[in-house]
Amino acid sequence: MPFVFNTPEDQAEMLKSIGVDSIEALFECIPEPLRLQRTLSLPPAMSELELAGHMQQLARRNTAPSEAICFLGGGSYDHFIPAVVDVVASRSEFYTSYTPYQPEVSQGNLQATFEYQSLVCELTGMDVSNASLYDGGSATVEAAIMAINATKRRKIIVSATVHPEYRQVLRTYFERIDVELVTAPAANGVTDLQQLAGMLDDETAGVVMQHPNFFGCLEPLQDAADLAHESGAMMIACFDPISLGLLARPGDLGADIVVAEGQSLGSPMQYGGPYLGIIACRAKLIRRMPGRIVGQTVDRRGRKCYVLTLQPREQHISRERATSNICTNQGLFALRAAVYLSCLGPQGLRETAELCLHKARYAAEQLAQLERFEMPFAAPTFKEFVLRDRHGRVEDLLASARRQGILAGVPLGTWYDDLQDCLLISVTEKRTKAEIDALVRALATADSDDVLEASRPCEVES
């Protein structure tokens, strides 16, 4: 195994200090077939100036959403972020102390978290929210574990229309423990309620459904919740926070636990994370909830103050009583979400949702007029939709659009074998009519040799 020391004497001194005879002895616990068995192919060392230039050159090989017309979705969205979000979140009082270990001395952080929890409860129609989790996938798993612990049952049903990466996280968590994970099939882009009803039994702890789902389609969440409750199971709803500017709150549709990816609430796409896991529930489940919960009270002088009301993780209480091994929270991103929601308010959130809805509908209608494409699902959608390429050349289609400066969508064949000829297109409030028309032109002319030869990043009106 290669190591770099200034001199052989340095190496000998290190080995002597740690009490081993050779470098190889450090790796005896690693099986021989798993060792590299060669030196690393590293270039010569660079100066700081050279390294900075090299890293900048590598960074230029990436295309950020701000440098292209972005129609990417599937859980990470190019929404507008008001400048005040960055201003507040960058203040040192928050930026360097978002997870204090002596919380009562940091009233500002506690209040920010309390405001975040209050906003999440108002947004979702639930009774209590925690101080956030890692991301949407981990929040989904924690919700499933809450249902298992609360019902004393060992079966979770998850819809095939839930984000495939969330479902993979569920499988990973439950692979080594005594939990049955069952997938409810989809029909025409939404959960098949008839088959879901046949899967429910007295061993079902919870049903996980996403609304709007991974395909952008609106699910019959109320009907699914009624079915779940009839069997004694809990309803776990994944939601898009922006959609609640228009859609009914999941708490009003019968959900017992709600989870979400909070990236759309004031955080940039930033290569897929770190993000914000939102989770909220009914009051009866409060002691099953992982993470931390901030409460409002008064001090001995009667002044309003904030405390950690519940800290049900093993760092704070005995390990056997902990509800989760979550060891921190995404407090800085929860702060961004709180500032974002406060800035927009109910009317701003509604306007944002309306813009997403109308612009996505316009894009779908324009693309559906092209002979090459069709919409495989008839269900209503919110801000993203599935487009089928009758030529079955989705990767070529996306590559052609990229050459014209357009990130046209996400190929669904990555997760769904029966959707190899489909892509997922997301249209947020940031997209202009000119940009949507540019997308339509790019996809309409993707097979043109002239376009492939001469395409350049397109310039569009703002």
Q: Return the HEC string of 386-428.
A: EEEECCCCHHHHHHHHHHCCEECCEEHHHCCHHHCCEEEEECC
- Topology (CATH) of 65-78+346-454: Aspartate Aminotransferase, domain 1 (3.90.1150)
N-terminal to C-terminal alpha carbon distance within the chain: 55
Of the candidates 162, 233, 173, the one whose C-alpha atom is nearest the C-alpha of residue 416 is: 162
What is the pTM (predicted TM-score) of this model?
A: 0.86
Please tell me the distance from the alpha carbon of residue 386 to that of residue 13, in angstroms, as a whole number: 62
What CATH number was assigned to the domain covering residues 83-341? Answer: 3.40.640.10
Please report the pLDDT score of residue 451 as a whole number. 44
For the chain, what are the domain ranges?
Answer: 8-42, 65-78+346-454, 83-341
pLDDT, tens digit, 9 for 90 and up, residues 4-16: 555 778 888 888 8
Amino acid at position 375, single letter: M
**Which residue matches tokens 């009233």?**
107
Q: What is the pLDDT of residue 56?
A: 95
- Tokens 């090989």 belong to 61
3-class DSSP state of 186: strand
Nearest Cα to Cα of residue 75 among 445, 432, 420, 415: 415
Query: Is residue 188 left, alpha or beta, with left meaning phi > 0 and alpha meaning psi from -120 to 50?
Result: left
* pLDDT per residue rounded down to tens, the chain (462 residues): 445 555 778 888 888 889 888 888 888 889 989 988 888 888 899 999 999 999 999 999 888 888 899 999 999 999 999 999 999 999 988 877 666 566 676 888 889 999 999 999 999 999 999 989 999 999 999 999 999 999 999 999 999 999 999 999 999 999 988 999 999 999 999 999 999 999 999 999 999 999 999 999 999 999 999 999 999 999 999 999 999 999 999 999 999 999 999 999 999 998 888 899 999 999 999 989 988 889 999 999 999 999 888 775 555 666 666 677 665 667 899 999 999 999 999 999 999 999 999 999 999 999 999 999 999 999 999 999 999 999 999 999 999 999 999 999 999 999 999 999 999 999 999 999 999 999 999 999 987 644 444 444 444 443
Pairing assessment for the beta strands 69-70 and 406-407 based on DSSP bridges: parallel
Q: Quick one: what percent of the chain has pLDDT higher than 70?
A: 90
Which distant-in-sequence residues (6+ apart) come within 8 Å of 87 by Cβ?
Answer: none
Please list the residues that pair with 217 across neighbouring strands. 381
3-state secondary structure of 380: coil
pLDDT in tens, 195-238: 999 999 999 999 999 999 999 999 999 999 999 999 999 999 99
Pairing of strands 257-261, 234-239: parallel
Residue 446 has a pLDDT of 87
**Rounded-to-integer distance, Cα 425 and Cα 427, Å:** 7
